[in-house]
């Protein structure tokens, strides 16, 4: 459930086929259908016998199952997955050992392997297409929570989503008997456009389950014992990644843990939030058949930590294939400082329109990304007013900038023209 902590921090406080591969463990596969009328889960055998439609443009293999483009970008009134997001499925930056995300993942693996004698099972190839139940219900996200909305989450259909957090796999792993595990994967959320937000990013979750025999000799109750073990574990992880840094614990709230904490470190002259964690809510364990156990869980965003450790200034760079970026990093070399290879100037364009009741900034950002992709560096609201007739106008400034080359006036003007047309047609706003 750990990565649900990052999920909760992002959404609460600011704004699932499985192919499981582990070291020394038998692999198994479990994949969700893409139909809302199907059951919440299907066996691997049933999926293998499913007759997949021919792809529109491509076929991916996720979790050992081939998935066609039109199985994800469905002709369904609830589907809101764009081509740009489908293109990221299966890229799995966290499984590339010479990529900053993969380097950081392996450094965390090293800590757990060394300090826990390889007790933690590792899962980093689980399919990001999961059920609504797995993504929300199984980690106790309330039915009316904003994160369930189509404004925040990518829906394949009414019962199937692209996972918002790797915690979507927690209940299944617990039911299968895993008691110590790390889950790493790509997660998907409709979000704003700036240097630290991207609709695809990577998380890691850790879970450890304790039995009464683990804490009975301590003279404390299970919750107190587990909370202490959790803090000791994560303080050690922070030192492993950042060195001898000052730390502090902050009490917080998550729907899936009680008590809940955030770990902050004093790094580069400021306090940095590293992760969220807590003692797992007993209801989650009870549903998984572990009525006598107590567990802890933590979650962290890999991009957020990698940007700090490698001095990477823009989250879009993680997706770059430019050798001037990729050649700077090597397997096992944590914290090599990124050397900027260029600084191309941004170009700013404004778009103004009268909004309607259905308008959201996330929808606008989806339109901008659909047109400009990673050439869109930032979308910022710069003016907002309501006239005497009660009509509200927004003006947004879009910064276009390539990380790899200079953009021409002609292509920027074409991008902006296409953005204006699509904003008007898709969002039903009135341009000014």
Q: What is the reported pLDDT for 71?
A: 82
Tens digits of residue pLDDT in 149-193 = 999 999 999 999 999 999 999 999 999 999 999 999 999 999 999
Residue 358 lies in a domain: yes
Task: Tell me 275's DSSP state.
Answer: E
Average model confidence (pLDDT) across the chain? 87
Which region holds residue 362: left if phi is over 0, alpha if psi is between -120 and 50, else beta? alpha
Residue 303 CB-density burial (10 A; 0-12 exposed, 13-18 middle, 19+ buried): buried
Residue 333 lies in a domain: no
Whether residue 302 sits in one domain with residue 387? no
Q: Is the pLDDT of residue 46 over 80?
A: no
Residue 285 lies in a domain: yes
Share of the chain above pLDDT 90, in %: 79
Tens digits of residue pLDDT in 128-150 = 999 999 999 999 999 999 999 99
Structure tokens at 224: 């107190």
- Average pLDDT (303-322) is 96
Helix or strand holding residue 250 (H, E): strand 246-254
Pairs from 337-346 (Cβ < 8 Å, separation ≥ 24):
337/310, 337/311, 338/310, 338/311, 338/312, 338/313, 340/313, 342/403, 342/404, 344/401, 344/402, 344/403, 344/404, 344/405, 344/406, 344/407, 345/401, 345/406, 346/377, 346/399, 346/400, 346/401
Tens digits of residue pLDDT in 370-392 = 999 999 999 999 999 999 999 99
Whether residue 355 sits in one domain with residue 294? no
Residue 93 lies in a domain: yes
Whether residue 369 sits in one domain with residue 229? no
- Average pLDDT (28-53) is 34
Q: What is the reported pLDDT for 311?
A: 96
Whether residue 360 sits in one domain with residue 321? no
Q: Please identify, among 259, 292, 327, the residue that sits at the C-terminal boundary of a domain.
A: 327
Q: Measured in whole angstroms, how far is the alpha carbon of residue 119 from the centre of its chain?
A: 25
Measured distance CA(167)–CA(213) in Å, rounded: 27
State the residue range of the domain holding 361: 347-431
Q: Is the pLDDT of residue 319 over 70?
A: yes
Q: What is the reported pLDDT for 31?
A: 44
Whether residue 352 sits in one domain with residue 264? no
Tens digits of residue pLDDT in 192-201 = 999 999 999 9
Q: What angle do CA 138, 144, 145 make, to 5 degrees?
A: 70
Residue whose structure tokens are 């380097």: 103
Measured distance CA(394)–CA(60) in Å, rounded: 39
Q: What is the reported pLDDT for 16?
A: 32
Please give the span between the terminal C-alpha atoms of the chain, in angstroms, as a whole number. 46
Residue 370 lies in a domain: yes
- Average pLDDT (57-69) is 73
Q: What is the reported pLDDT for 1?
A: 52
Residue 338 lies in a domain: no
Measured distance CA(70)–CA(233) in Å, rounded: 44
- CB within 8 Å of 76: residues ≥ 6 apart: 36, 156, 157, 158
Q: What is the reported pLDDT for 90?
A: 86
3-state secondary structure of 226: helix
Helix or strand holding residue 169 (H, E): none
Q: What is the edge-to-edge ordering of all strands in the sheet holding 25-31?
A: 18-22, 25-31, 42-43
Q: What is the reported pLDDT for 300?
A: 95
Measured distance CA(30)–CA(341) in Å, rounded: 43
Tens digits of residue pLDDT in 397-428 = 999 999 888 999 999 999 999 999 999 999 99
Question: At 58, is the pLDDT very low, low, confident or very high (cuts 50, 70, 90)?
Answer: low
Residue 16 lies in a domain: no
Residue 37 CB-density burial (10 A; 0-12 exposed, 13-18 middle, 19+ buried): exposed
Question: At 33, is the pLDDT very low, low, confident or very high (cuts 50, 70, 90)?
Answer: very low
Query: What is the secondary structure of 361-414 as a DSSP string?
Result: HHHHHHHHHHHHGGGEEEEEEEEEEE-TTS-EEEEEEEEE--SSSPPPHHHHHH
Structure tokens at 58: 């491509």
Whether residue 270 sits in one domain with residue 409? no
Q: Is the pLDDT of residue 264 over 80?
A: yes
Q: Is the pLDDT of residue 9 over 80?
A: no
Q: Please identify, among 327, 361, 386, the residue that sits at the C-terminal boundary of a domain.
A: 327
CB atoms within 10 A of CB 320: 14
Which CATH number is 366's domain given? Answer: 3.30.70.380
- Average pLDDT (252-279) is 93
Higher-scoring residue by pLDDT: 312, 62: 312
Share of the chain above pLDDT 70, in %: 86
Whether residue 290 sits in one domain with residue 361? no
Q: Is the pLDDT of residue 20 over 50?
A: no
Whether residue 222 sits in one domain with residue 114? yes
Q: What is the reported pLDDT for 70?
A: 83
Whether residue 245 sits in one domain with residue 363? no
Which CATH number is 89's domain given? Answer: 3.30.930.10
Whether the model pTM is above 0.75: yes
Q: What is the reported pLDDT for 68?
A: 82
Residue 15 lies in a domain: no
CA atoms within 13 A on the CB side of 115: 16
Q: What is the reported pLDDT for 190?
A: 96
Tens digits of residue pLDDT in 76-132 = 999 999 999 999 998 999 999 999 999 999 999 999 999 999 899 999 999 999 999
Question: At 59, is the pLDDT very low, low, confident or very high (cuts 50, 70, 90)?
Answer: confident
Measured distance CA(271)–CA(360) in Å, rounded: 32
Q: What is the reported pLDDT for 343?
A: 84
Whether residue 100 sits in one domain with residue 234? yes
pLDDT-wise least confident of 40-44, 325-329, 342-346, 394-398? 40-44
Structure tokens at 168: 């979507």
Closest-CA residue to 131 (of 30, 227, 259, 221)? 30
Q: What is the reported pLDDT for 48?
A: 36
Q: What is the reported pLDDT for 66?
A: 77
Higher-scoring residue by pLDDT: 117, 41: 117
Burial track 333-349 (b if 16+ CB lie within 10 A, e otherwise): ebbeebeeeeeeeebeb
- CB within 8 Å of 1: residues ≥ 6 apart: 139, 167, 170, 205, 207, 256, 257, 280, 284, 297, 299
| Radius of gyration, alpha carbons of the chain | 22
Whether residue 426 sits in one domain with residue 284? no
Q: Is the pLDDT of residue 274 over 90?
A: yes
Whether residue 424 sits in one domain with residue 352? yes
Closest-CA residue to 282 (of 272, 268, 269, 296)? 296
Q: Please identify, among 295, 327, 359, the residue that sits at the C-terminal boundary of a domain.
A: 327
Total number of domains constituting the chain: 2
Q: What is the reported pLDDT for 5?
A: 61
């Amino acid at each position: 459930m750990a990565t649900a902590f990052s999920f909760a921090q992002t959404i609460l406080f600011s704004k699932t086929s499985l192919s499981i591969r582990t070291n020394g463990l038998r692999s198994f596969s479990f994949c969700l259908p893409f139909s809302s009328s199907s059951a919440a889960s299907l066996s691997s055998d049933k999926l293998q016998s499913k007759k997949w439609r021919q792809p529109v443009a491509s076929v991916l293999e996720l979790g050992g199952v081939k998935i066609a483009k039109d199985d994800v970008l469905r002709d369904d009134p609830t589907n809101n997955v764009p081509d740009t997001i489908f293109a990221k499925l299966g890229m799995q930056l966290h499984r590339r050992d010479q990529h900053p995300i993969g380097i950081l993942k392996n450094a965390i693996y090293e800590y757990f392997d060394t300090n826990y004698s390889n007790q933690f099972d590792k899962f980093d190839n689980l399919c990001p297409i999961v059920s609504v139940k797995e993504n929300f219900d199984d980690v106790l996200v309330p039915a009316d929570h904003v994160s369930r909305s189509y404004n925040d989450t990518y829906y394949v259909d009414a019962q199937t989503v692209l996972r918002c957090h790797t915690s979507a796999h927690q209940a299944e792993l617990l039911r299968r008997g895993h008691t110590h595990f790390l889950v790493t994967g790509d997660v998907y959320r409709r979000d704003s456009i700036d240097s630290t937000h991207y609709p695809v990013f990577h998380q890691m979750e850790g879970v450890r389950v304790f039995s009464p025999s683990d804490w009975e000799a301590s003279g404390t109750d299970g919750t107190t014992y587990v909370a202490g073990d959790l803090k000791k574990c994560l303080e050690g992880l922070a030192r492993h990644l950042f060195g001898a840094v000052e730390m502090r614990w902050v009490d917080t709230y998550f729907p899936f843990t009680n008590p809940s904490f955030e770990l902050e470190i004093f790094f580069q002259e400021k306090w940095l939030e590293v992760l969220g964690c807590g003692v797992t809510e007993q209801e989650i364990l009870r549903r998984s058949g572990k009525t006598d156990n107590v567990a802890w869980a933590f979650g962290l965003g890999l991009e957020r930590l990698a940007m700090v450790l490698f001095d990477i200034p823009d989250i879009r760079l993680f997706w770059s294939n430019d050798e001037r970026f990729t050649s700077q990093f090597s397997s096992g070399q944590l914290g090599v400082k990124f050397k900027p290879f260029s600084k191309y100037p941004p170009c700013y364009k404004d778009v103004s329109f009268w909004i309607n009741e259905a308008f959201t900034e996330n929808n606008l950002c989806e339109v901008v990304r659909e047109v400009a992709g990673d050439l869109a560096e930032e979308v910022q609201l710069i003016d907002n007013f309501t006239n005497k007739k009660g009509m509200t106008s927004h003006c947004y400034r879009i910064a276009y900038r390539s990380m790899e080359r200079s953009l021409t006036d002609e292509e920027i003007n074409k991008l902006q023209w296409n953005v204006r047309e699509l904003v008007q047609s898709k969002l039903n706003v009135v341009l000014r």
